[in-house]
Amino acid sequence: MGSFNLDYCIHAANILLLAAYSVRDILWLRLFAVASSTIAMPYFLFQPTPLWAAFGWSVVFTLINVYQCWRLSRERRPVQLSAEEDEVRRLVFPDLPPREVLRVINLGFWANLAIGERLIERGKSVDAISLIVRGRVQMTMEGRVLGEIARGGIVGSSLALSGATAEVDAVTVEPARTLRWDVPTLNRYLDSKPETRNVFQRHLARDLAGKIQRMANVASGTPSSGPSSTSTQ
């Protein structure tokens, strides 16, 4: 190493480590940590007796932090939602960033439904809820039409949350495009994401309130409008 003083390496490494502890952004913290571990390596390696244990741990810490920097960088890349995904964001999650909306969408699965397909069947429990993105679903009880759920409405929300058995049938009356979530899977995710849960619950509350209001309108003979009508299922 000639006249170069190896102590400079350990001093520089610790200054960078101090900088890492001084920043709030986790990505910058890890970048400083990578630089610190890298600069410290020559100090451990070129001692009269190489400090292999310290050098080895520096390599491990560097690799871990490099991986975490790569992961954080990927997470911070702008997310471009498809037209359909953006429609879900506008319908249900207008207050969430696109990346979080995409995570919630990926928990569920898309379905194209033909006329006459059932989303809810009378006498059976409901373990999934469906967001209507396109099309209409008709709610019936023993052949009597109770109302319809259209774009932006959620089918099965009250039943899935309460665990009650369905007393109605929900059948598509025109070709529909739906996003369907398994309730246990969705709940596990929302339990770890309080902000997302709050946004989703607000939409469910508005959806349920709208259904109740339209039920009252139907009972009083007042015409109803909106994405869903008459049924609270």
Q: What is the pTM of this model?
A: 0.62
Phi-psi domain of 188 (left: phi exceeds 0; alpha: psi -120 through 50; beta: other): alpha
Say which amino acid occupies 223: P
> Looking at the 3D structure of the chain, how many domains does it have?
2
At 7-18, the pLDDT tens digits run 899 999 999 999
CA–CA dist 165, 159 (Å, integer):
7
Give residue 139's pLDDT band: very low, low, confident or very high (50, 70, 90).
confident
Query: In what order do the strands lie in the sheet containing 144-149?
Result: 118-120, 169-172, 137-141, 144-149
- Please check whether residue 229 is in contact with residue 211, taking contact to mean a CB–CB distance below 8 angstroms: yes
Q: Answer yes or no: is 124 within a domain.
A: yes
Under 8 Å between Cβ of 34 and 62 = yes
Q: Indicate whether 58 belongs to any domain.
A: yes
Structural domain for 170, as ranges: 83-220
Residues 203 and 134 in one domain: yes
What was the pLDDT predicted at 1? 46
Residues in the chain: 233
- pLDDT band per the 50, 70, 90 thresholds, residue 211: low
The residue from 58, 75, 92 where one domain ends is 75
- Check whether 226 has a pLDDT greater than 60: no
Contacting residues for 111 by C-beta, under 8 A, at least 6 apart: 130, 177, 178, 179, 180
Task: Indicate if 103 and 67 belong to the same structural domain.
Answer: no
- Say if residue 145 is in the same domain as residue 92: yes
DSSP-derived 3-state class of residue 40: helix
